[in-house]
Amino acid sequence: MKPDHSSFPRLDGLGWLSAARRCPSPNFDARPDGVAVDMVVIHNISLPPDVFGGQGVEQLFTNCLDPDEHPYYAQIAGLRVSAHFFIRRDGGLVQFVSTEDRAWHAGVSSWRGRERCNDFSVGVELEGCDTRPFEPAQYARLVEVLRAVCARYPVRDIVGHSDIAPGRKTDPGPFFDWQALRDAGLPGVRSD
């Protein structure tokens, strides 16, 4: 039996998800003409590292991170990065960039011979790290977000940051449960 997707949130005509709290980031630009979104990249992030629940991620993605607040912040305060979505440990959802635009989440990257993965992907950050499991509420929210993105775009690949930037990135990390996404019937989930 196929799941009923009618009750899941949908992206509006401008690429915003009604279920998400908007926190617009200046760190985006237009996608190249004629490039279709066909991939989702899953990341993990916590600021300060391995600390959950603070405002560091939102501050980083909106260029408001105070370098004096934590020693680690001094190293990253000048970065200009963002993602489309951020899913907190309790399943809370924040959207920083419209899915119609290119968020700056992947950096130097390549997938299936195509460079610059930001051009054709949606980036989803999970509040987490490489050393701890994610929460059930995060997987539930992630599946909702992925279903909304897949309903709007011809997604053929759902991968981790480590897949598109091997050797440079390790997220979403060894505790991420890829099988949970396969069990949800999502297309193109990377194999283990």
Q: pLDDT by residue (tens digit) across 1-23?
A: 344 455 678 999 999 999 999 99
Say how many Å lie between the first and final Cα of the chain, rounded. 25
The confidence score (pLDDT) of residue 3 equals: 47
Beta bridge partners, 160, equal: 42
Tokens 């930001």, residue located: 118
Q: Does residue 87 carry a pLDDT above 90?
A: yes
The confidence score (pLDDT) of residue 6 equals: 54
The confidence score (pLDDT) of residue 37 equals: 98
Among residues 190, 171, 8, the alpha carbon closest in space to that of 111 is found at 190
Mean local confidence (pLDDT), 163-176: 97
**In this structure, what DSSP letter does residue 189 have?**
B
The confidence score (pLDDT) of residue 7 equals: 66
The confidence score (pLDDT) of residue 191 equals: 83
Among residues 127, 122, 62, the alpha carbon closest in space to that of 93 is found at 127
Mean local confidence (pLDDT), 125-146: 98
Structure tokens that stand for 11 in this block: 């992206």
Percent of the chain's residues with pLDDT above 70: 96
Torsion of CA 78, 164, 86, 143, to 10 degrees: 180
Helix (H) or strand (E) holding 76: helix 71-76
What's the full length of the chain, in residues?
Answer: 192
Q: Does residue 80 carry a pLDDT above 80?
A: yes
Q: Which of 58, 125, 135, 144 is catalytic?
A: 125
Is the sign of the CA dihedral 124, 128, 131, 134 positive or negative? negative
Catalytic status, residue 125:
yes
Whether the pTM exceeds 0.75: the reply is yes
Mean local confidence (pLDDT), 99-125: 98
On average, the pLDDT of the chain sits at: 95
